[in-house]
Amino acid sequence: MSATTERGAAVGAVGSVAAGADGAAAATPVISVHVPPHSLASELRAIRIVWQRDLIRFVNDRIRIAATLVQPLLFLFVLGSGLQRLSSAGTHGVNLKTFIYPGILCIAVMFTAMFSAASIVWDREFGFLREMMVAPVRRSSIVIGKCLGGATVACSQGIIMILLAGLVHVPYAPLLILAIFGLQLLLAFTITAFGVMIAARIKQMQAFFGVMQMIVMPMFFISGALFPASGLPQWLEILNRLDPLTYAVDPMRRLVFSHLHVSAAARAALDPGVTWWGWHVPGLLEAGVIALLGLAMLAVAIAEFSRVE
Amino acid sequence: MSDSAATDAGIVSTARSPDGAAVWVDGLVKRYAEVEAVRGIDFEVATGEVFGFLGPNGAGKTTTINMLCTLVKPTAGAARVAGHDVVRERDDVRRNIGLVFQDPTLDAYLTAAQNLRLHAELYRLEKKVIAPRMRQVLEMVGLWERRSSTVGTFSGGMRRRLEIARGMMHSPRVLFLDEPTIGLDPQTRRSIWGYIGELREREEITIFMTTHYMDEAEWCDRIAIMDHGQIVALDAPEELKSQVGHDRVTINTDDDDAAIAALRERFGVEARVHEGAVTFGVPGGEQFVPRLFDEWDPAHPPIRSVSVSRPTLDDVFMSHTGTTIRDAEEDQAKNRNRMMVQMMGGGRR
């Protein structure tokens, strides 16, 4: 079918060239178009369209939406229900699913954000990156648009996880939901920036996912998403405090626990909070750590992409 | 038809100046670690011209285009495109050029219209002209009806047409086409050339393209023949062919080696085997054929068939580089293979 379309078009085009050569003026006037010099407004337009593209692609890709949800749901319901039988003594009557829910809220956006960043590697492989790289816009606009796109897409997954709160005995309090969402957005942005930074250097999809697996899984396990961050063996405690994800999981858990009715003993055991040399790190500072890391990685990503010829 | 106009505008002016030319190149060099891909080239392209870069793969055509498009920084020399310096005024150059690369650069998950829309936003076109302009370029390449289809469902030819439409979306002053028809069937190649012809009829545009198809170079107002990073000839295709000064004679025999030896001894011409037939160039080919048969010794292998042709761009290429474009590419492929084998062998030792 497409062959005939093409042939038809070919004949049409050759015909119209002949007509043009005969001196017949073009039927419709040419629409005059002008590309203005660059300005702040034009860069914002570039950021918006790069962001929008990620959204359009995500909405069209239902399989991906489903696939990235599988892993967090597995952790939450299978691991949560299964291990509950072993650990009911240690959780002071709190359901294990409720305990790991804050961690799952974090990793759900983390996996999706990684996927979004990976699309830069695809774009390079399929050539589309070039279309963006030769456009008369700053590379920084492209990178920022990409990170915002990844964060938005990841947060749409995050919302699905928030909606599950009732199933793990967490109340639907508007303020809680808002705070969780804000924290997810921050984490998603930082993780996308991290992925984009890696994608600037790693050009093959397999290698990219390999590196991601190597970094993401340890980050997840060490972060305290599945266990309280106190009373750990010292080596693990050190690793835990170095893991950036710790500073997303901890405030997330504090938020959720502040809306639960649990005994003081359960709170002390399950939500001890992260400490630095005995000092209790406040939630806002933890969020600040995530934000700062995100901005630093965004800066590196921009520098990397601006350097490429 | 437009040969003479182009010649008047471009070549005849002896004082080269960067003003007014669509593309102006002076002593451009690109050196990679060990390879000198482009070894100091000079040329200029007049506004409204269709200018072709012809040469085998690896001659430096794409490197040159990449320098002109601000994608690669020149090692030495200067170039101006649409009046702007390709190093110091990158953004201004990019605003004024359209690009169609050898490899596809479309987002296959978006529709044709979404791809153009994205391009329009990146090139900050005025909101109200986007829709009518999109319609115009899509109609030009015959894809208006398919605007809502995902690019992933398009054939190779349709994708290339969409890329050309996208390259035109922002009305560039210079449109760069890097091998616009490579890998396409002859039918689609012709239609692509139809659009290019139509473009120059309708819009004030300069077209700069590379190709290694000889027949396509004929469409250009002027062509530069590039070989080993240098321009070896530059003129209108007709001019180049008339400079060759001899016709091409091709004969079929049962014993090519003996025939080549006989031609050398008796007629003093150097023949070679090209594409399965003994080929050589002589002035006045039609007059040579009767002489050939008169003086052909019965001891020589009998001639099965003869053909005489006017010089083609192939002959032009051969007269400047001593080889046909196809042979040049085969040699390169062999060299590459040899290098790879050496590298692999070296690694093992």
- Residues 6 or more apart whose CB falls under 8 angstroms from that of B188 comprise A6, A10, B156, B157, B160, B181
Q: What is the pLDDT of residue B314?
A: 79
Name the domain count of chain B: 2
B310 CA to chain A: closest CA distance, Å?
26
Tell me whether A122 touches chain B (CB under 8 Å): no
Q: What is the pLDDT of residue A9?
A: 41
Q: What is the mean pLDDT of chain B?
A: 84
* Co-location of B233 and B270 in the same domain: no
Of the candidates B136, B120, B149, B287, the residue with the CA atom closest to the CA atom of residue A137: B120
Pick the more confident residue, A117 or B332.
A117
B42 CA to chain A: closest CA distance, Å?
23
Q: What is the pLDDT of residue A26?
A: 44
* Co-location of B105 and B156 in the same domain: yes
In the predicted structure, residue B3 carries a pLDDT above the cut 80 = no
Any domain includes B53: yes
In B, which residues are within 8 Å of A56 by CB distance? 110, 114
pLDDT in tens, B19-72: 678 999 999 999 988 888 999 999 999 998 999 998 887 888 889 999 999 988
Any domain includes B111: yes
Q: What is the pLDDT of residue A71?
A: 83
Q: Which of B187, B220, B241 is the last residue of a domain?
A: B241
* Co-location of B276 and B132 in the same domain: no
Q: What is the pLDDT of residue A225?
A: 86
Q: What is the pLDDT of residue B6?
A: 41
Quote the CA–CA distance of A167 and A174 in Å, as a whole number.
17
CB A109 within 8 A of CB A155: yes
* Co-location of B251 and B133 in the same domain: no
In the predicted structure, residue B348 carries a pLDDT above the cut 50 = no
* Co-location of B235 and B260 in the same domain: no
Taking one residue from A and the other from B, the number of pairs with CB-CB distance under 8 angstroms is 144
Q: Which of B241, B267, B297 is the last residue of a domain?
A: B241
Closest Cα in chain A to B2:
A21
* Co-location of B214 and B255 in the same domain: no
Q: In the β-sheet with B247-253, what is the strand arrangement from edge to edge?
A: B272-274, B277-282, B247-253, B303-309
CB environment B154-172: b (16+ within 10 A), e (fewer): bbebbbbbbbbbbbbbbbb
Q: What is the pLDDT of residue A88?
A: 66
In the predicted structure, residue B7 carries a pLDDT above the cut 60 = no
Average pLDDT over residues B279-285: 84
Quote the CA–CA distance of B24 and B19 in Å, as a whole number.
8
Tell me whether A56 touches chain B (CB under 8 Å): yes
Quote the CA–CA distance of A191 and A176 in Å, as a whole number.
22
In the predicted structure, residue B5 carries a pLDDT above the cut 60 = no
Q: What is the CATH number of the domain that holds B19?
A: 3.40.50.300
Q: Which of A274-283, B218-227, B296-305, B328-337 has the lowest mean pLDDT?
A: B328-337
Average pLDDT over residues A279-308: 90
Q: Supply the ipTM of this predicted assembly.
A: 0.80
pLDDT in tens, A194-214: 999 999 888 888 898 888 888
Tell me whether B18 touches chain A (CB under 8 Å): no
Q: Which of B71, B133, B158 lies at the smallest CB-CB distance from A6?
A: B158
pLDDT in tens, A219-251: 989 998 888 887 788 899 889 888 989 999 999
* Co-location of B192 and B262 in the same domain: no
pLDDT in tens, A243-279: 989 999 999 999 998 888 877 777 777 887 888 888 8
Any domain includes B17: yes
What confidence tier does A89 reach under pLDDT thresholds 50, 70, 90?
A: low
Q: Which of B117, B123, B154 lies at the smallest CB-CB distance from A135?
A: B123
In A, which residues are within 8 Å of B89 by CB distance? none
Q: Give the number of residues written for chain A.
A: 309
In the predicted structure, residue A28 carries a pLDDT above the cut 70 = no
Any domain includes B74: yes
* Co-location of B18 and B143 in the same domain: yes
Q: Which of B241, B256, B275 is the last residue of a domain?
A: B241
Residue numbers of B between 118 and 147 with CB closer than 8 Å to A:
118-119, 121-126, 129, 132-133, 136, 141-142
Any domain includes B288: yes
Q: What is the mean pLDDT of chain A?
A: 83
Average pLDDT over residues B172-180: 90
A87 CA to chain B: closest CA distance, Å?
47
Tell me phi and psi for residue B227, to 5 degrees.
Answer: -150, 130
Q: What is the CATH number of the domain that holds B303?
A: 3.30.70
Locate all alpha helices (DSSP H) within B142-269, ordered by sequence.
156-168, 186-202, 214-217, 237-244, 256-262
Closest Cα in chain A to B167:
A131
Give the rounded distance of the alpha carbon of A156 from its chain centre.
10
In the predicted structure, residue A25 carries a pLDDT above the cut 50 = no
Strand B84-85 versus strand B76-81 pairing type = antiparallel
**Residues spanned by the domain of B201:** 3-241
Q: What is the pLDDT of residue B344?
A: 57
Q: What is the pLDDT of residue A13?
A: 39
**Which residues lie across from A45 on neighbouring strands?**
none
Residue numbers of A between 22 and 41 with CB closer than 8 Å to B:
26, 28, 30-38
In the predicted structure, residue B151 carries a pLDDT above the cut 60 = yes
Quote the CA–CA distance of A186 and A255 in Å, as a whole number.
15
Q: What is the pLDDT of residue B129?
A: 92
CB contact under 8 A, B70 and A134: yes
DSSP B243-258: HH-SEEEEEEES-HHH
Any domain includes B232: yes
A207 CA to chain B: closest CA distance, Å?
22
What confidence tier does B321 reach under pLDDT thresholds 50, 70, 90?
A: confident
Q: What is the pLDDT of residue B166?
A: 94
Any domain includes B120: yes
Q: What is the pLDDT of residue B78?
A: 93
What confidence tier does B343 reach under pLDDT thresholds 50, 70, 90?
A: low
Quote the CA–CA distance of A76 and A222 in Å, as a whole number.
17
A1 CA to chain B: closest CA distance, Å?
10
Any domain includes B342: no
- Residues 6 or more apart whose CB falls under 8 angstroms from that of B223 comprise B51, B52, B53, B54, B217, B234, B235, B236, B237, B240, B313
- H or E stretch including B79? strand B76-81
Q: What is the pLDDT of residue A308?
A: 59
* pLDDT above 90 coverage of chain A, percent: 30
**Disruptive mutation site among A52, A134, A137 for chain B (greatest number of B CBs within 10 Å):** A134
* Co-location of B201 and B258 in the same domain: no
In the predicted structure, residue B85 carries a pLDDT above the cut 60 = yes
Residue with tokens 């015959």: B142
Q: Which of B169, B188, B202 lies at the smallest CB-CB distance from A10?
A: B188
- Tell me the CB-side half-sphere exposure of residue B215, using CA atoms within 13 A: 6
| Intra-chain end-to-end CA distance of chain A, in Å | 41
Tell me whether B321 touches chain A (CB under 8 Å): no
DSSP A198-212: HHHH---HHHHHHHH
In A, which residues are within 8 Å of B157 by CB distance? 6
* Co-location of B296 and B149 in the same domain: no
* Co-location of B277 and B196 in the same domain: no
CB contact under 8 A, A135 and B122: yes
What confidence tier does B18 reach under pLDDT thresholds 50, 70, 90?
A: low
Of the candidates A183, A193, A194, the residue with the CA atom closest to the CA atom of residue A148: A193
* Co-location of B254 and B232 in the same domain: no
Locate all alpha helices (DSSP H) within chain A, ordered by sequence.
2-21, 40-60, 62-73, 80-87, 96-125, 128-133, 139-163, 174-201, 205-222, 234-242, 246-258, 264-270, 283-307
Give the rounded distance of the alpha carbon of B27 from its chain centre.
20
- H or E stretch including B346? helix B325-348
Tell me whether A134 touches chain B (CB under 8 Å): yes
